[in-house]
Amino acid sequence: MDEVEKKKFPQTEAEIKELLQKQDSGDGNEIPSALGVHYDSSTVTMVVTLDLPKEAVGGQTTIITGDEKTVRVPEPKVGHATIIQGRVLKHLASKPVTNHNRITLVNAYAVAAPAKLDNTALTSTKPSVLPRARFDLFYRDWVDYRFRKLEACLKVVRRNVVSDYEAGKGFDQEAFVTKCAEIENYLKKCYDEMECVNNPPYPPPHFHTPYADLP
């Protein structure tokens, strides 16, 4: 970075503090970020800090709270991790105000119990818009993961229906219909973003919709 570029960033401690306060008291959408306000495609996300120099200020994972305010997750030290409910909380990857590097590793988690279907989504990686050849491995993994979950879930539902009947409990029609609707929705989410006729804009409007206005 040359001297002219350096001057675009705060130089003194007071300037750094002032800029941070200004960012934090304003709209989260205006905070400079490596990845702007978004929901994740995975149920629970762990962000591990791989590189953030000690002298860096800022660079935290920043969450938009229920009242649409911003909160920085403190102490993003190297080797430390932030775990967030990425499908529920809007958040962003803030850039250090001192313009230092911020490198993270992002890992995703979802429910493992076979009877439970997770809420993972294909939001940004989809074959209707991205070059197929580069992402075919991802789609293979996506289908493998989703269908394994589906197979396990179907097996549990079938076994429970049979064993409940054998145990003299009869057939719970309402529970079965509810579960089938859940499975139907899960299957639809496996492919709906892949359909060329369904190519919603990115970022989706709900990334910038206040929580209170969500359907």
Among 20, 23, 40, 59, binds Fe ion (CB under 5 A): 40
Q: Does 118 bind Fe ion (CB under 5 A)?
A: no
Alpha carbons 93 and 101: distance in angstroms, whole number = 12
Closest to Fe ion by CB, 157 vs 193, is 193
For the chain, give me the number of helices (H) and strands (E)? 4, 7
**Binding-residue pattern over the window 129 to 168 for Fe ion, x denoting contact by CB under 5 A:** ----------------------------------------
Closest to Fe ion by CB, 94 vs 99, is 94
Compute the least distance from the CB of residue 30 to Fe ion, in Å: 18
C-alpha distances out from residue 46 to 59, 80, 85, 106, 145, Å: 16, 10, 9, 6, 19
Q: Please name the residue that has the structure tokens 């935290």.
A: 60
Closest to Fe ion by CB, 40 vs 118, is 40
Alpha carbons 42 and 24: distance in angstroms, whole number = 26
Closest to Fe ion by CB, 40 vs 193, is 40
Compute the least distance from the CB of residue 104 to Fe ion, in Å: 10
Residue 104's CB is within 10 A of a number of other CB atoms, namely 20
CB proximity list for 176: less than 8 A, separation 6 or greater: 157, 161
Q: Does 193 bind Fe ion (CB under 5 A)?
A: no
Q: Does 61 bind Fe ion (CB under 5 A)?
A: no
Applying CB under 5 A, which residues contact Fe ion? 40
